[in-house]
Structure formats: C-alpha cells, structure tokens
Structure 1
Amino acid sequence: MVTDNYEKEISFIESVLKEAAQRLNHMKIQSIHDKTSRDLVTSSDYAIEQYIITMIQSQFPTDHILSEEMNQDTLLQERTWVLDPIDGTCNYANAIPMFGIQLALTVGSAIAAAGIMLPCLNELYLASQNGGCTLNGKKLTVKPDSINHSIVSFGDFNEERQAASKLQSQTMKRLRYQIMKEKMFGAASVDFAYLASGRTSGTFLIASHAWDILPGILIALEAGAVISDEKGRPFCFDSEIVLAANSQELIELMRQPELSC
C-alpha cells in the first residue's frame, strides 16, 4: 500500500488494473478500426474500458468517469475517475509490447491517486498524492544523471496542435547532440513509467487528453520528478505541453526557447 490517504482507492486501482491486465493478456483482437487518421481503436479497448467502468460504478457509484472511448465529454468534477483502457493502442494492435492501462482519480483540481499497468512487463505503478510511488510494491525514486548521459522520450506529434508539435520538433533537434539518446515509445504510460523507474531521464509530451497524461503525472511527481509546462510554470489541467524530468537542470534545457538567427 502506498499511503493511508486514499487507501481504499489505491487498493481498488491495484486490484482492477491487475485483473484488466490478465484479461488483456488473454484477449484476442476481434476488430481494429481507424479512430482518426493517426490513431486506432480495437475491440480490446472497448472490452477493457467496459470492465473497469463497471467496477468503478460498483465500488464508487456516485463518482464521475472520464474515459477515452465511452465517456470522452465528462467534465472533471469533485471526484472523477480518468481512464485510458489501452494507452498506446497502435503499439498494441501491431504486437509492439509498449502499451499500458491507466487509471487516476481526480478530486477537485488535484490528482489524488493513480496507477499504470504495463501488461507485457507485469509492472504495476501506484501513487497517491503526497504518499509516494511504488513499482510492484517497492518504493520508486527517479534516477539522477548528467545531461550528457540523459535519455529523453518524446510523445506523439498532434496534427490538431501544430504549434505544440512544432515546438516538440524544435526541442528534439536542439537536444539531439546535448543528451545521450532520444526515444519515442508511442505511449505516455511508458514515458512516465520509464521516467519514474529510472530508465529514462525526462519526457516531452503534448497533452492531448486528460486520460493520456494525468495518471502518469502523479506517478512521476511522487517518484520525485520535476514537472512543468513549456514555459516553466507548474502543470495544470489545461496545460498544452508537459515536461517531466529527473532534475530542474534538464527541465530548463528542455524548455529553452529556440534561438532566432
């Protein structure tokens, strides 16, 4: 257990994500459809989402639910569960083992509890506000390293957010010869989990939807990561870009503006 705060919710997240991963690991994809020109949805997305929604409604019947496939228009209210049944569906649909199941509880303007399950690695990340972060029950902290040994991951580009996508492209180009490696995993759950577990040093993500980023933000924060928007301000729910890193120094490097000629 991560903390006494939101103990019931953390226990619920742990149980439901473990069961969802078991179901997903034994599930065959029955259908795949284009959701947008750059994204897919599968029968498994709907099945896992329906299972978790049913469990939330059973255990917390008065809470609200915001989810990627069935409840996209729910507003964040006093207690809202934020669910991404398969984060990284394109990876999942193409048998690339880099995807996750994400669930968070927001209370007012705070992320109170969260979990990320990476089924192919059998890794369960849990965190609660001011309660720390664990990986399979063991406490996590980000791993400090020097800038020239840093590995920074970048999220997907977003054709609906051209300015943010341009800034991401500029940042990738600018960091290329200052850090050790750039990575694109194709799943925000993996970006945040790898930062929290010390596999990477930072991540730059366009905040397309709440279900993509809110669970991972709490995981990373409670593991000791520094998080801001592209201007160095604290992250808020309407931030367009999320920067997360194992040090303030790397955050400053990631948000450094492109110099004009």
Structure 2
Amino acid sequence: MQVSAVYVPIIELIREVGAYQKAAFISRAFDIHTKSSAVDLVTEIDLWSDQKLAAGIRSLFPNDRLLTEEQGGFEGKNTYEWIVDPLDGTTNFSIGHPIFAISVARWQEDRPIFGAVYLPMLDILYTAERGKGAYQDDRRLTASKQTALVKSVLGTGFPYDRATAVNNNGENIRKMVPKVKGLRRLGAAAYDLCLVASGVYDAFWELRLAKWDLAAGRLMIEEAGGTFIAACEADKYNVIAGSKALCEQLSLSLNMRNDVG
C-alpha cells in the first residue's frame, strides 16, 4: 500500500466497510429498493456503508467538504472535498455477482489529489496520490500506450437512465464491436477506470457518470500516465479514458452527446 500517513486511517476505514459488505454479500441477508427507476437500485448495505464512510471521514477531516452518493453534500470550511461512492456496482451486489467496489477520493477545488478503490470480494486495493503514482496494492500502475483499435480491449457501460435516454450507448457499442479486439462491460465504473490505469483495458468510455463514479478513477489514470477526458453537463460526466491515441480516435468516432429524451 503506497499512501501517505495521513490517508492510512482512510484505507483502514475502507477495508472495514469492505469486510462488512463481503459478509453481507455472502449471507444474502439484505433488503433491496429502487431509486430513480426500476433499474436504479439501492440496498441497505449501500446506505450503511455510506453512513459509515461519511462519519469516519468527517471525524478524521472535520473541515473538509463531503459528497456521498446516498446522503448528498456536507459543507466544510476549506477547499478540500471528499467524494464517496459507498458501493459501486449495486446491481452486481444485489444479484450475487462479486464485481463491486468502494470508491473514495479527496479533491482540492477541481481536481483529485487522493483516491482509493477497493474491491471487497477480490481483496484488491487501488490507490493514487497526486504526483506520487497509482498502485494496485504495492505494484505501480502504467496505463496502455496502444494506438490501434483492432488490437485494443475497451470497457464501457450503460447509463442509469438507459430505458428513457435517446442516447443510451447502444449505438456506440454496436459501432465499436467489429473494430476492437474485445469489449467489456462489468457494471462498476470505478473498477473499470482502475483497469484502464493498470493497462488491462486500453481505453474506456461511458455516458452520464456521476462525480462519485469517477472521482478516484480519474486520478488513477492520470497518475498511471493515461489520458482522461470528461465533459460535464448538469452534474453528469461523459468520459473517455485510456491511451492518448485511442482517446483521440474514440472522441471522433463515438456519440457522446447527452441526448436524454
């Protein structure tokens, strides 16, 4: 684990929440509810995790602002802001699929300075600090330098409002399938971005992500030498990330407009 001492208690907190999530995932003893639509899920584990992480962060950094997926924003006295996705991949979690993650980041004004993504079922921890590199556990990460789409494996996903959006990414996927070596959709954007940082994916794109989806992953990619492009509209982010050459090609090829209907 390659983090400054000030962030060690945050890592310990994340691991504690991860252990709770793992136990709940194995037991299958939790309630599932919906939020904005029938496919926008939340479980009692999301809510517990959000509250636990928020309370811990506010105790450790009482003057920082805080934004969490389930509770919204908390004011602070300085320019630092913590951004938390307590359980990225809730649908996976709810159906017994082990790919889900905890994402925690600290931003100063408009850019991340610390990030951590933890996958409880895989026991994999990604960390990054501004100017100090990105790591998977103790291994430093290097993003792909691939230039050819035909040799590339890409990750993507579908937006939360895919049932009603005019641009739900389906046409983009249809367009890219014959052009690439492989295309993956895991259902947890925070992990997808870490896979870009580690060079497993050569590139990634997705529509209408929330800030908590990308807050840590953006820093992972930048510190691993990758390119991260995001257009923000109404607090939703259209993201392309990966090698510089592939990001340029995807920017020209994909429909990244927010045609939400």
TM normalised by structure 1 equals 0.85
Deviation at 1:149, TM superposition (A): 2.0
**1:250 maps onto 2:246 in alignment:** yes
Q: Distance in 2 between matches of 1:137 and 1:34?
A: 38
Q: Distance in 1 between matches of 2:35 and 2:108?
A: 30
Deviation at 1:115, TM superposition (A): 0.4
Deviation at 1:30, TM superposition (A): 2.3
Q: Distance in 2 between matches of 1:191 and 1:256?
A: 21
Deviation at 1:258, TM superposition (A): 6.2
**1:34 maps onto 2:42 in alignment:** no
Q: Distance in 1 between matches of 2:160 and 2:194?
A: 21
Q: Distance in 1 between matches of 2:97 and 2:208?
A: 23
Answer yes or no: is the 8 Å Cα contact 1:125–1:133 preserved in 2: yes
1:155 to 154, 157, 181: 157
Gapped runs of 5+ residues in structure 2?
Answer: 256-261
Q: Distance in 2 between matches of 1:22 and 1:64?
A: 26
Q: Distance in 2 between matches of 1:253 and 1:171?
A: 13
Deviations, residues 112-148 of structure 1 (Å, cap 9, x unaligned): 1000001111110000112100111221112334421
Return the letter of the residue paired with 2:156. Answer: F
Deviation at 1:43, TM superposition (A): 0.9
Q: Distance in 2 between matches of 1:45 and 1:258?
A: 33
Deviation at 1:13, TM superposition (A): 3.0
Matched with 2:12 is 15
Deviation at 1:236, TM superposition (A): 10
1:241 to 208, 221, 238: 238
Deviation at 1:207, TM superposition (A): 3.6
Q: Distance in 2 between matches of 1:84 and 1:237?
A: 19
- Superposition map of 1:19-168 within 5 A: 19-27=16-24, 28=27, 29-37=29-37, 38-70=39-71, 72-74=72-74, 78-145=79-146, 146-159=148-161, 162=165, 165-166=167-168, 168=169
Deviations, residues 205-245 of structure 1 (Å, cap 9, x unaligned): 22431111111111111112111136xxxx89957311001
Aligned residues: 248
Return the letter of the residue paired with 1:152. Answer: L
Answer yes or no: is the 8 Å Cα contact 1:191–1:203 preserved in 2: yes
Answer yes or no: is the 8 Å Cα contact 1:158–1:206 preserved in 2: no
Deviation at 1:169, TM superposition (A): 3.2
Matched with 2:258 is none
Deviation at 1:17, TM superposition (A): 1.6
Matched with 1:205 is 206
Q: Distance in 1 between matches of 2:20 and 2:254?
A: 46
Answer yes or no: is the 8 Å Cα contact 2:152–2:202 preserved in 1: yes
Q: Distance in 1 between matches of 2:244 and 2:219?
A: 17
Question: Secondary structure in 2 aligned to 1:36?
Answer: coil
Answer yes or no: is the 8 Å Cα contact 1:31–1:42 preserved in 2: yes
Return the letter of the residue paired with 2:12. Answer: S
Question: Secondary structure in 1 aligned to 2:158?
Answer: coil
Return the letter of the residue paired with 1:39. Answer: D
Question: Secondary structure in 1 aligned to 2:216?
Answer: helix
Deviation at 1:74, TM superposition (A): 4.8
TM normalised by structure 2 equals 0.85
Deviations, residues 134-182 of structure 1 (Å, cap 9, x unaligned): 111221112334421211111222438946x35x333323222221111
Answer yes or no: is the 8 Å Cα contact 2:210–2:235 preserved in 1: no
Answer yes or no: is the 8 Å Cα contact 2:66–2:73 preserved in 1: no
The percent identity for this pair of structures is 25
CA RMSD between the two structures: 2.5
Gapped runs of 5+ residues in structure 1?
Answer: none
Q: Which moved more, 1:215-224 or 1:169-178?
A: 169-178
Deviation at 1:87, TM superposition (A): 0.3
Return the letter of the residue paired with 1:36. Answer: S
